[in-house]
Amino acid sequence: MSHPDIVIVGGGMAGASLGAELAGEARVLLLEMEDRAGYHATGRSVAFWEETYGGAAVQPLTTASGPLLSVPDPDFHDGSFLSPRRTLHVGRAGDEGHRDALMTEFAGKVVLEPVDPAALVPGLRPDWTMGVMEASCQDIDVAALHQAYLRQFRRRGGEVRLATRLCAARAVGGGWQVETPDGVIACAILINAAGAWADDVARASGVAPIGLTPLRRTVVQLGVPSMPSPDLPLIMDLAGQFYFKPEGQGRVWLTPHDEAPSPPCDAAPEELAVAEAIARFEKAVDWPIARVEHVWAGLRSFAPDRAPVYGFDPDRPGFFWFAGQGGFGIQTAPAAALLAAARLRGEAPPESVAGIDADAYSPTRFR
């Protein structure tokens, strides 16, 4: 039987980032059920850093993560994880309510500027007359960020076990015994960073689930040779029916912004969602599609109130939730990991996240 201080279940962005913050101060073991860490949501993200994405509950985490992603510690990563993008929120007649809600919700928090969308996107169809520019939006190098966290985790003494599933866990004598196919692991703290499987991990550990819902998000990669520029902004529908962004010259990543409930699984795209994405794209711009190059899907997991869940379960001492991060876990990773690590240690959070109300993300709100 091995005896780490902390076991983290899940090797995606959540588990890797929190593990990197904790390793070095404690013996930390990360369990990943797949042969490769980050195989599911992390590896399928169309990630960008956008302060309005996810709403008011997520925005403080995103905003605080911006400087940490832009200018990371040189010992963590050489150079920025971010590159310029911008977001252009677009709408048609009847979308005034969506525009006004966006402007009101983030007034004084995020710089949003009404603009003429036609002047910024050649080929935008004429009925898209409404535009709001969010100039701060940037692309994120997801793979580099995830690998940097895993590298830091290992450098600080953390251990990663791939292809190792938590079968069950039980509270024993103030700690936990975790059953895996390779044997039993004893630890003081069990961290649930299992993404779409987080409620399943809780049940297997004798902990009441929170009600996390995995939702499938479909992404289509299109070959669009006539796209005017790879430097165009991310185009996001104010009504939430699609977004797309250039991914190099003549290539677009597109989603119909779908949220289909799904059991935890290796998510695959459905033909209807792909067709809806393409139809919505063609109604937005007049760029001919040369080919569909690739399609994929991932699961974004939400708590009932769609805010993340960070903290010790109030009914099961030593069981720590780090889940429910929706589609925003990449852009909030640095701040979320710092905030959660401080909670685990029982310390005040560092200055970079000190202004965030950590209680807003506590699992106690569901008990």
> For the chain, how big is the Rg over CA atoms in Å?
21
Measured over the CA atoms of residue 283, residue 286, residue 290 and residue 296, the dihedral's sign is: negative
At residue 1, the pLDDT reads 64
Provide the CB-side half-sphere exposure for 155 (13 A, CA): 11
Q: Given this model, what pLDDT does residue 2 score?
A: 80
Those residues of the chain that have pLDDT short of 70 are: 1
pLDDT at 47: 82
Q: Rounded distance, CA 323 to CA 180, Å?
A: 21
Would strands 291-302 and 309-312 be described as parallel, antiparallel, or unpaired? Answer: unpaired
Paired tokens of 219: 């992404």
Angle, in degrees to the nearest 10, between helices 142-155 and 13-22: 30
For residue 325, what are its two tokens? 């991060």
Instruction: Determine the distance from the C-alpha atom of residue 19 to the mean position of all C-alpha atoms in its chain, rounded to a whole number.
Output: 16
- DSSP codes, 44-90: G---EE-TTTT-TTTHHHHHHHHHHHHS--TTT-SS-SEEE--EEEE
Question: What pLDDT was estimated at residue 41?
Answer: 80
Enumerate domains of the chain plus CATH numbers. 6-48+142-211+305-366 (3.50.50.60), 87-135+213-302 (3.30.9.10)
